[in-house]
Amino acid sequence: MNVAVGHGAAVRVESCGKTFADGTRALEPATLDIARGETLVLLGPSGCGKTTMLRIIAGLELPDRGGKVLFDGNDMTSVPIEQRNVGMVFQSYALFPNMSVADNIGYGLKIRGMPSGERTARVAELVALTNISGLENRRIDQLSGGQRQRVALARAVAIRPGILLLDEPLTALDAALRDRLRGELNRLLRALGITTIYVTHDQSEAMELGDRIVVMQKGSIAQIGTPREIYFKPRNRFVAEFIGAANIIESPIENGHLVLPGGRQPIGGDVSMASAVAMIRPETIEVVAAAAAPLSGTIDSVSFIGDRQRMVVSGASSKLLTVDAPNTVKAEAGERIGLLIAPDAVRLLPPED
């Protein structure tokens, strides 16, 4: 397989499901196309099937009968992982404790029969790229979590894989380090431009890194889209609530308005329904004088977060509304306020089953 650097392979997953030997259905048959050079994030809570999907693409699990995995149009379904030319970063990193950092990074090159001179040069290149200079001769148990993560990434990228697969690579790190490495990882992935499939349960990681996000729920795909689409146009309540904060309101509709206890809120889109489940993001609600908006309510509490303040408002809808207001707005608990919401900021979701 000859794959140019900086491009990688296009991946197609065709109706791949996975039922384990004990009968548990980890993944409903799903079809997925990943473009050459794209970063696709599989996002969902634990047990949603995202890791199973990744392992099927990697070649660590066989899909159920009828499922197919194609790289650049070639059927790879029965090809074992060692012949798929994928680079993989594991959640636990899977670094070899019996080898030095440099030997870990160079292992895939050694397997490919690269002469030792060339190998040393390539390892040095990756050590520089991942910022771990000076650690080459360390043992793995002498590294910190962040350093291990970098070594694992360097090792996976060293072999110039067609596809880079990352299974929760930042989950094992503490929060501050995770944020920093996320930025670094993002720059690195953009620089490599390689087809990347990234598994995480962290929505902010998914937002920052993904060209597209696949939100998964209970073994099936809930929605596929760009971070913006997923955030602003969630297809159902699960997606809306999993990504960011969301007010979910059930309300009857009357000629293009949600009829709420605190007033009538105009909505865009399809208004022919008699009632709807609507989603409103907290930061799309503008706090104005009570008389200046069709919808009004009473502030229950205000918490100052720094870059914004989060208000909980009662009386506007049947449930408490969460509002994220700029930190300059002056309002106190008990005050009556108007809530100005643009019609297209109200997203109608399909009714619950």
Partner 1 sequence: MRDRLIFTAQLLFTLLVAAFLVVPAILSITAGITVNYFQGIRSGVTLQWVFQVWELYAGTILLSFVIAFATLVVTLLAGVPAAYALHVRGGRLSRIVEEVITLPLAIPGLAIALALLLTYQGFSDFRRSWLFILTGHVIFTMPFMVRSVMAVFATVDIKTLDEGAASLGAAPWRRFLDVIVPNAVPGILAGSLMVVTLSLGEFNLTWMLHTPLTKTLPIGLADAYASMRLEVASAYTLIFFVMIIPLLVAMQLFADKEQAR
- Other CB atoms within a 10 A radius of the CB of residue 272 amount to 7
- Is the distance from CB of 96 to CB of 140 less than 8 angstroms? yes
Angle, helices 116-129 vs 101-111, to 10°: value is 130
- Please report how close the Cβ of residue 60 comes to partner 1 at its closest, in angstroms: 6
Compare residues 168 and 286 and give the one whose CB is closer to partner 1. 168
Kindly tell me the number of DSSP H helices and DSSP E strands found in the chain: 8, 20
- Does residue 334 bind partner 1 (CB under 8 A)? no
* CB nearer to partner 1: pick between 166 and 207: 166
Residue 217 C-beta: closest distance to partner 1, Å: 26
Q: Is 71 in the site for partner 1 (CB under 8 A)?
A: no
Between CA 267 and CA 27 the distance in angstroms is 36
Which one of 15, 70, 90, 186 is in contact with partner 1 (CB under 8 A)?
90
Distance between CA atoms of residues 68 and 64, nearest Å: 9
Q: Which of 9, 41, 88, 192 binds partner 1 (CB under 8 A)?
A: 88
Task: Provide the greatest CA pair distance for the chain.
Answer: 77
Q: Which of 81, 114, 177, 329 binds partner 1 (CB under 8 A)?
A: 81
Please check whether residue 93 is in contact with residue 149, taking contact to mean a CB–CB distance below 8 angstroms.
yes
Residue corresponding to tokens 């080459």: 136
Distance in Å, CB of 59 to partner 1, minimum: 8
For the chain, report the end-to-end CA distance as a whole number of angstroms: 47
The binding track of 276-305 with respect to partner 1, each residue x by CB under 8 A or -, is: ------------------------------
Q: Residues 104 to 133: which contact partner 1 by CB under 8 A?
A: 107-108, 111-112
The set of residues, in sequence order, having a beta carbon less than 8 Å from that of 144 and lying 6+ positions away, is: none
Site mask for partner 1 (CB under 8 A), range 150-179, x = bound: -----xx--x-----x--------------
Question: Which residues of the shown chain bind partner 1 in the complex (CB under 8 A)?
Answer: 21, 58, 60, 80-83, 85-88, 90, 92-98, 107-108, 111-112, 155-156, 159, 165
